[in-house]
Amino acid sequence: MSGWKNKRFWKEATCAEVEGGFAVHLDGRVVKTPAKSALTVPTLPMAQEIAAEWDAQGEEVDPLSMPVTRSANAAIDKVTPQHSEVAEMIAAYGGTDLLCYRAESPVELIARQAQAWDPLLKRAEREFAAPLSVTAGVMHCAQPEDSLRALSKRVSDMTPFELTALHDLVALSGSLIIGLATMEGWEKPEELWRISRLDETWQEEQWGPDDEATELAETKRESFFHAFRFYNLARTPASSN
């Protein structure tokens, strides 16, 4: 049974413990991903969230209203069979991390970046054994190979579901360090999102907000918070009790 039907055809979505995790059933039939794999997730809370999304559907199924289902599908269909490639792509952000590229002027923005970004880089050096170099401007700054290897190892050790969450945290913030910091709980996700938007906020203060940019930023912010939530759902102890 394909998980994506235009019309609702079930009465009840339920969870069941299966080999390898937890599945969602629609009237007793297993939900499958778009690629026809069983939608088996690592934790009961994640399965419950997915079941709730299916139960909340009206007569027409709206995939956009099912973010946990969509992320789980991505973890199974896209990340699992390409784990190494996805991990490598995400780890590559460490070589061009947002936090390492600072403004050349004005002094107020330089100071704001240093105040917000330096503590994260110092903590990454301490906790990941990954010191990163900082430069002013946009010219590429080569990073220590040992640091990049350490960050790559941290990323590659993640499960497909964790990696799915990290992909969005990093891509949306432009920073591998911010993505990892969000997962590690160094700051609240709201604060880390604010830190990632520091340059954009500065521009708004100087020139005023742009409605289209503001709308796009809000969409990204919601996606960032969803990725953090998905990560937590993936790590909740798997128990059906």
Indicate the pTM of the whole model: 0.92
Strands 29-30 and 21-26: antiparallel
- Whole-number percent of the chain with pLDDT over 70: 95
Q: In the CATH scheme, what is the homologous superfamily, with its name and number, of domain 82-235?
A: ATP12 ATPase (1.10.3580.10)
pLDDT band at 49 (very low <50, low <70, confident <90, very high): very high
Write out pLDDT tens, residues 161-180. Answer: 999 999 999 999 999 999 99
Q: How far out from the chain centre does Cα 91 lie?
A: 13
The pair phi, psi for residue 31, each rounded to 5°, is -75, 140
Q: How confident is the model at residue 71 (pLDDT cuts 50, 70, 90)?
A: very high
SS (H, E, C) 191-222: HHHHHHCHHHHHHHHHHCCCHHHHHHHHHHHH
Mean of all residue pLDDT scores within the chain: 94
- Domains of the chain, by residue range, sit at 82-235
User: Is the pLDDT higher at 209 or at 154?
Assistant: 154
Out of 37-41, 96-100, 140-144, 210-214, pick the least confident: 210-214
pLDDT in tens, 146-155: 999 999 999 9
Measured from the Cβ of residue 95, the count of other Cβ atoms closer than 10 Å reads: 18
pLDDT of residue 5 exceeding 90? no
Mean pLDDT of 33-41: 96
Express each pLDDT in 215-241 by its tens digit.
Answer: 999 999 999 999 999 999 999 654 333
